[in-house]
Structure 1
Amino acid sequence: MEIRKIRSGETGSIWRLFHETVHLINQADYSESELAVWAPDEYDEPRWVSRFIRTRPLVAMEGKRLLGFAELSEDGRIDLFYVHHAHQGEGIGRALMQRLKAEAASRGLSRLYCEASITARPFFEAMGFVALAPRQLERRGQPVPVILMEYQP
């Protein structure tokens, strides 16, 4: 498995992984309406391309197959962190997190934080994150429950 920065032309694959994983993995913890506003069925390519030009996410690849991706902002926020629904529990998330932690250390960041889904909370806890508080993110006018979590090396 190779972990590297996103390349041109990979945005559609990342969006598909995001959309499918949200709808297949998070359905146990979220309602259909919450999933629909979190990961809408419409692919807004200009929006996603613009975002990824700005955030330059890491991608986990096996050959040409996308296995996962993660974003790390300048202030230590992990915004998007997803592993392909068919490859959960294979160490891909752990490898991505190790890379994010190394990148954060190289930038001198003293803290990582995220607003994790209810579904992802156990993963982030296993990676050393601590739950701070429940939150509600607004997506298309609807609240979606998440947990504010942080990691301090």
Structure 2
Amino acid sequence: MEIRKIRSGETSSIWRLFHDTVHSINQADYSEQALAVLAPDQYDEPRWVSRFIRTQPLVAMDGNLLLGFAELGEDGRIDMFYVHHQHQGEGIGRALMQRLRAEAASRGLSRLYCEASITAQPFFENMGFVSLEQRELARQGQVWKVILMESKT
């Protein structure tokens, strides 16, 4: 497995992994309506390309197969962190997190933090994150719970 920065032409593959993983994994904890708002079926290429130019996510690859991706903000915020729904539990998330921690250390960041879904909370706890508070996010008439979590680097 190789972990590297996103390359040109990979945006649609990352969006597909995000969409499919949200709809297959998070359905246990969130309504179909909330998932449709969080990960719409329609691919908005300009929006995603613009986002990834700005965030420059790390991708985990096995040859040409995208296994996962993660974004690390300037201040240590992990906004998106997803492992392909068919490859969870294989150490891909752990490898991505180790790489994020190394990146954070190289930037002199003292903490990582995220608003984890209820579904992702156990993963982040296993990675040494602690829960700070539960929050509700609202978008397009849908509300879902997330947990603000942090880890010292």
TM superposition score normalised by structure 2:
0.98
Corresponding position of 2:40: 40
Distance 1:142 1:53 in 2: 28
**In percent, how many aligned pairs have the same letter?**
81
The offset of 1:83, in angstroms, is: 0.1
Q: Which is worse superposed, 27-36 or 137-146?
A: 137-146
Name the structure 2 match of 1:101: 101
Q: Does 1:78 align with 2:78?
A: yes
Written as runs of structure 1 = structure 2, the 5 A alignment for 1:46-65 is 46-65=46-65
Which residue in 1 is equivalent to 2:137?
137
Query: Deviation digits for residues 37-81 of structure 1, max 9, x if unmatched?
Result: 110111100000000000000000000000000000000000000
Quote how far apart the aligned CAs of 1:138 are: 2.3
Once residues 141 and 7 of structure 1 are traced to their aligned partners in structure 2, the CA distance between those partners, rounded to angstroms, is 35
Q: Size of the alignment, in residue pairs? A: 153
Q: How far 1:142 sits from its partner (Å)? A: 2.0
Residues in 1 aligned to 2:17 and 2:85: alpha-carbon distance in whole angstroms: 8
Over aligned residue pairs, what C-alpha RMSD do you find? Answer: 0.7
User: Which residue number in structure 2 is paired with residue 21 of structure 1?
Assistant: 21
Query: Where do 4+ consecutive residues of structure 1 move more than 3 Å?
Result: none
**Does the residue aligned with 2:80 lie in a helix, a strand or coil?**
strand
TM-score for both structures, normalised by structure 1: 0.98
- In structure 1, stretches of 5+ residues that fail to align are none
Query: Gaps (5+ residues) in structure 2?
Result: none
